[in-house]
Structure 1
Amino acid sequence: MSIQWYPGHMRKATREMTKILSSVDVILEVLDARAPISTSNPVIKEITQGKPIITLLNKSDLSDPIYNEKWIDYFKQDKQKQTLLINAMTNESYKKIIDLISALARKKIGKNTLAMVLGIPNVGKSSIINMLAGRKITKTGNEPAITKGQQKVNLRNGIMLLDTPGVLWPKIEDPESGLALAALGSIRNTAVAYDQIAPYIIKSLYQKYPDSLKDRFKIEPLTSDEYKAIEILAKKRGCISKGGITDITRISEIIVDEFRRGLLGRVSLETPA
């Protein structure tokens, strides 16, 4: 199952980012720490060749702390990048990010350092910008594609941030990556149905975090059949339509929502090779 969700504004945004790259000093690439590979846009890698890159593994408070450290080791292999684990909802990472930008930027006497913030939808770019600015500059939310155009933000410390729209690539070929992106909310809900996403989440939890299934959903005994597990959970949560028919759509929405809000525990969907 390949996924195509590439609205016109994303195509336009990619062209505009490419045009301005020559004046950019540093790239801030924002990834979701729960799935760093799937949330890394291959197009971004192509257009940013030669630029110093700071990779920010955001939402690290929602991902497995054991795998967080393994991902840091994984990204250290790329000498073009510096990588930080962050949680944009706190300001603990502020100094590390600012210091790295200053260290990697080309020195331009009398001019601001321009740092471009790149990433796919819903990885938390706007939250990071608001955290660095110390005030609400950009709109945030769990719906992808909130930011539609470029916006400059002066941090007043010699650094100018360039906020860009979240952009995907034209066709997501890998089914696992597509489902991971849908689970994280990086693809609009109308592009992938909840009843396709929920089995992926349940299967991932069963394989890596069975205790999370037991603790949150009280499924005993556990079943390796994700569809059967969803049926059981629907009955437990009262997702039954008229006539006693299981409301798979409703229970799937609940599973996806609770996963996105971190209610299923600290979960990593991907592990380093």
Structure 2
Amino acid sequence: MPIQWFPGHMTSARKKAREAMESIDVVIEVVDARLPEASCNPLIHEMRLFRQRPCLKILNKADLADPAVTAAWLEYFNRQPGIKAVALSCKKPADVARVPGLCRLLAPHRNDNLKPLRMMIMGIPNVGKSTLMNALLKRKISAVGDEPAVTKNQVRGDIDLRHSLVDTPGMMWPKIEFDSDGYMLAASHAIGRNAVIDEEVATFLAEVLLARYAPNLTERYGFATAGMDGVAIVEAVAKRRAMRLKGGGLDLEKASLVLLQDYRDGKLGRISLETPETRTVMISEHRAKVAAAVKDEATPDAQAD
């Protein structure tokens, strides 16, 4: 089932972000290092290009992502005009301390000390925007939580006389084009649980892990994965952890939540759900399916003529 999630307050947040972007110098876009492209909001890209604002793209939670894959993503993003991409953890003070200097490199006209460098933090829900804001200001000014869409209003603050910040609410976009993006976002907890079925998301995650990180599953849960599919993985987790319903059946919902939480907490190791290569293949396959569907719809009309 395709996943879509666009709470009402995000329409207002998008409008306010467009207005605020008129008076800022650099966009700081925070994405999830485990799914850097899937967690990029295309609306932010459109706003930024319209206002011709440079972007510091922060691949946050890099300590949870596969380092080799992250390196490939950094190379991918840094080839794009107007973008400087870095991988870091917004929970590490030394990493956060680099951010203002990187932004100054993107806006050299603000090195004259006449006006402060104005930065705006943007991104989808639950990628670490508010954590970054609080770390830069060295005080708690933005609400932080483990649920998506905690911040619902813009928050402003000054780092010092030379640097000012705006933190925007997490923004999704009205329609997620690729089904796999929705599942990756849900697995990483960027989408509210009311919009997803945990068992379906866990099955999707298990399939990705089987394809690229099967040994991590064995190390974490103690079972061999040969011959399994995603459903079998969730069932095996339930059996291994003795998760049973009252009637004796497997509690697959509880097992799904365990698998998802273990991934989110990094207990399965350093995992990346997409690479530049898998992204290219996914888009190519999607376009082929769309083209085939369009062709099938047109065929009856052609025969009728």
Measured against the shorter chain, the TM-score band is over 0.9
Per-residue CA distance 1:141-190 (angstroms, 9 max, x = gap): 21000000001011014111100000000011211000000001000011
The 2-side partners of 1:229 and 1:205 are apart by 10
Could you tell me how far 1:222 is from its partner in structure 2?
3.1
Q: Count residues in correspondence.
A: 273
Alignment of 1:1-273 (within 5 A): 1-49=1-49, 50-105=52-107, 106-107=109-110, 110-273=114-277
Could you tell me how far 1:221 is from its partner in structure 2?
4.7
Relative to 1, partners in 2 of residues 1:139 and 1:79: Cα closer, same or farther, differing over 3 Å?
same
Give the conservation status (yes or no) of the 8 Å contact 2:29–2:58. Answer: yes
AA aligned opposite 1:55: K
The 2-side partners of 1:190 and 1:117 are apart by 26
Give the conservation status (yes or no) of the 8 Å contact 1:60–1:86. Answer: yes
Could you tell me how far 1:94 is from its partner in structure 2?
3.0
Segments of structure 1 that go 5 or more residues without pairing to the other structure are none
Segments of structure 2 that go 5 or more residues without pairing to the other structure are 278-305
Q: Percent identity?
A: 37
AA aligned opposite 2:124: I
Could you tell me how far 1:4 is from its partner in structure 2?
2.1
Which TM-score applies when normalising by structure 1?
Answer: 0.96
1:29 counterpart SS class: strand
Deviates more, 1:220-229 or 1:126-135: 220-229
The 2-side partners of 1:104 and 1:173 are apart by 31
Which TM-score applies when normalising by structure 2?
Answer: 0.86
Could you tell me how far 1:257 is from its partner in structure 2?
1.2
Give the conservation status (yes or no) of the 8 Å contact 1:58–1:87. Answer: yes
The structure that is helix-richer by fraction is 2
Per-residue CA distance 1:66-124 (angstroms, 9 max, x = gap): 11111111111102100111101111223421111222223275332210000000010
1:231 counterpart SS class: helix
- Matched residue, 2:287: none
AA aligned opposite 1:4: Q
| Aligned residues: CA RMSD | 1.3
Could you tell me how far 1:13 is from its partner in structure 2?
0.4
Give the conservation status (yes or no) of the 8 Å contact 1:30–1:55. Answer: yes
> Higher Cα Rg: structure 1 or 2?
2
